[in-house]
């Protein structure tokens, strides 16, 4: 049984609140209070930062719980202990256990996921939970914890119907995860976040460019500094300079935690943790011949960054963009961005209700398909040395693509 099957026909008319998740957790004796936690939000990069943080803590000998979303291929990817997905039969046990609470408090799907995470992590006696916010921050169900460190990667326009139509409003929602007496790490130098963070009275704020920074050398190695700490020649298996930003943000959060707990810094362990981390659907090379890359970018800022970096890494390549989108996204702006990098936009209509449909977009793209087999055939027919094929636009589609090419 999958958890999401319980929610297929469920209708929600719910105002934002933490009351539902708090009430459900109280019936489980508040498992989220039995271990330390770090919470991460941001428009882009929060999944990557969460994965790097988990690897850093695990390599330091901490037993970790990692809660992320959405899943790409299998639902049990959302819950990990020491980097290993929850087993299906264990997940089903938790689903049966919390089913009465779902009904009693009319929990959303994400709230139910969060409830399982907190209970599972307690039962496994973890040392620390790494929690990726699902949406926003202030009203996100993960935000019931009192984190040791809070992290905001950045803000850009996404989910504006829920979070607000200005960067200031979006930043305000995301700053809901910060605590006045706990450190806040900001992975950008955006004044929309920083100014409000100071206004909220947060005592320890560390943000990119002022308190920590990085540089990427020609061979792809990263030099990083934070206060009086410098770590040189950090290697990563991940493509793209933005991962250097995510890595630096994660290391800063980790070092802040180490200082808070009076734990000594081991540079070699930190470098090993970063190098060993791989994250699916983040500029992931699926095949070399033909060259197929998969990226989960699903908002204008994320798509722009990916295409810019692809062009920088492969300047001679002719980019074919295989685009998918959910109909509630700003897909027209995304198409305009893609057209600056590619004349060849192939649309893939994902197999889900929220997907943008072919009839909505067919006059704006080169060709459209409803089956990945047809797209794969198209790729093989156009396989030339100077061609590159990039899947982008939706994390939901990324899961389908991963499964297809696995």
Nearest to 34 by CA among 137, 142, 120: 120
Distances (CA, A) of 324 to 2, 341, 378: 25, 16, 16
Report the distance separating Cα 214 and Cα 182, nearest Å.
Answer: 24
pLDDT of the residue at 406: 85
The DSSP letter of residue 355 is: B
Q: CA 403 → CA 90, 280, 355, distances in Å?
A: 23, 11, 18
Record the tokens describing residue 20, joined without a space. 């539902």
Tell me how long the chain is.
406
The residue extents of the domains of the chain are 3-276, 284-405
Q: In the prediction, which pLDDT does 298 show? A: 87
Query: What pLDDT, on a 0 to 100 scale, did the predictor assign at position 157?
Result: 80
CB-CB contact of 181 with 203 (8 Å): yes
Would you say the C-alpha torsion 113, 116, 121, 122 has a positive or negative sign?
positive
**Helical (H) or strand (E) element with 81:** strand 79-81
Domain 3-276, CATH class in plain words: alpha beta
Measured CA to CA, the distance from residue 354 to residue 130 in angstroms comes to 29
Supply the DSSP string of 186-226, one letter for each residue. Answer: ESS--HHHHHHHHHTT-S-EEEBTTTEEEEE-TTS-EEEEE
For residue 25, give the nearest of 128, 96, 122 by alpha carbon. 122
Instruction: Report yes or no: 299 and 272 within 8 Å, Cβ to Cβ.
Output: no
E-assigned strand segments in 113-173: 128-132, 149-152
Give the right CATH number for 284-405 from 3.30.420.60, 2.60.120.10, 3.20.20.140, 3.90.190.20. Answer: 3.90.190.20
Enumerate residues 6+ apart whose C-beta is below 8 A from 395: 70, 72, 281, 296, 298
Q: What are the tokens at 253? A: 């959060």
Angle CA 25–28–31, to nearest 5? 75
pLDDT truncated to tens, each residue of the chain (406 aa)? 789 888 876 766 568 999 999 999 999 999 999 999 999 999 999 999 999 999 999 999 999 999 999 999 999 999 999 999 999 999 999 999 999 999 999 999 999 999 999 999 999 999 999 999 998 999 999 999 999 999 999 998 877 777 888 999 999 999 999 999 999 999 999 999 999 999 999 999 999 999 999 999 978 899 999 999 999 999 999 988 889 999 999 999 999 999 999 999 999 999 999 999 999 999 999 999 999 999 999 889 899 999 999 999 999 999 999 999 988 888 999 999 999 999 899 999 988 888 899 988 888 888 999 999 999 999 999 998 899 999 999 988 999 999 999 8
Going by DSSP bridges, is the β-strand pair 184-186/205-207 parallel, antiparallel, or unpaired? parallel
């Amino acid at each position: 049984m999958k958890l999401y099957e319980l929610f297929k026909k469920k209708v929600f008319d719910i105002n934002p609140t933490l009351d539902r998740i708090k009430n459900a957790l109280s019936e489980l004796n508040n498992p989220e209070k039995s271990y330390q936690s770090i919470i991460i939000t941001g428009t882009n990069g929060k999944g990557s930062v969460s994965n790097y943080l988990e690897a850093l803590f695990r390599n330091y000998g901490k037993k970790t719980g990692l809660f992320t979303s959405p899943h790409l291929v299998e639902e049990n990817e959302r819950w990990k202990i020491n980097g290993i997905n929850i087993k299906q039969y264990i997940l089903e046990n938790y689903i049966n256990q919390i089913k009465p609470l779902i009904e009693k408090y009319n929990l959303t799907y994400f709230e139910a996921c969060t409830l399982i995470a907190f209970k599972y992590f307690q039962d496994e006696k973890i040392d620390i939970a790494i929690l990726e916010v699902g949406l926003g921050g202030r009203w996100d169900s993960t935000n019931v914890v009192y984190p040791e460190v809070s992290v905001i990667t950045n803000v850009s326009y996404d989910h504006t119907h829920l979070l607000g139509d200005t960067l200031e409003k979006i930043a305000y929602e995301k700053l809901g995860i910060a605590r006045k007496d706990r450190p806040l790490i900001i992975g950008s130098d955006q004044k929309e976040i920083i100014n409000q963070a100071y206004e909220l009275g947060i005592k320890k704020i560390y943000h990119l460019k002022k308190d920590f920074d990085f540089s990427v050398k020609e061979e792809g190695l990263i030099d990083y500094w934070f206060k009086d700490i410098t770590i040189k020649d950090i290697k990563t298996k991940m493509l793209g300079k933005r991962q250097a930003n995510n890595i630096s943000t994660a290391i800063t959060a980790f070092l802040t935690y180490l200082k808070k707990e009076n734990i000594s810094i081991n540079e070699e362990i930190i470098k090993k943790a970063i190098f060993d981390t791989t994250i699916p659907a983040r500029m992931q090379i699926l095949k070399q011949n033909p060259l197929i890359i998969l990226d989960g970018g699903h908002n204008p800022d994320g798509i722009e960054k990916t295409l810019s970096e692809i062009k920088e890494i492969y300047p001679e390549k002719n980019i074919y963009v295989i685009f998918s989108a959910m109909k509630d996204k700003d897909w027209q702006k995304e198409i305009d961005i893609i057209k600056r990098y590619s004349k060849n936009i192939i649309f893939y209509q994902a197999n889900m209700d929220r997907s943008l449909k072919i009839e909505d977009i067919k006059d704006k793209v080169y060709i459209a398909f409803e089956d990945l087999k047809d797209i794969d055939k198209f790729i093989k027919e156009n396989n030339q040395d100077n061609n590159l094929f990039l899947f982008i636009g939706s994390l939901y589609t990324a899961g389908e693509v991963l499964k297809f090419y696995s």
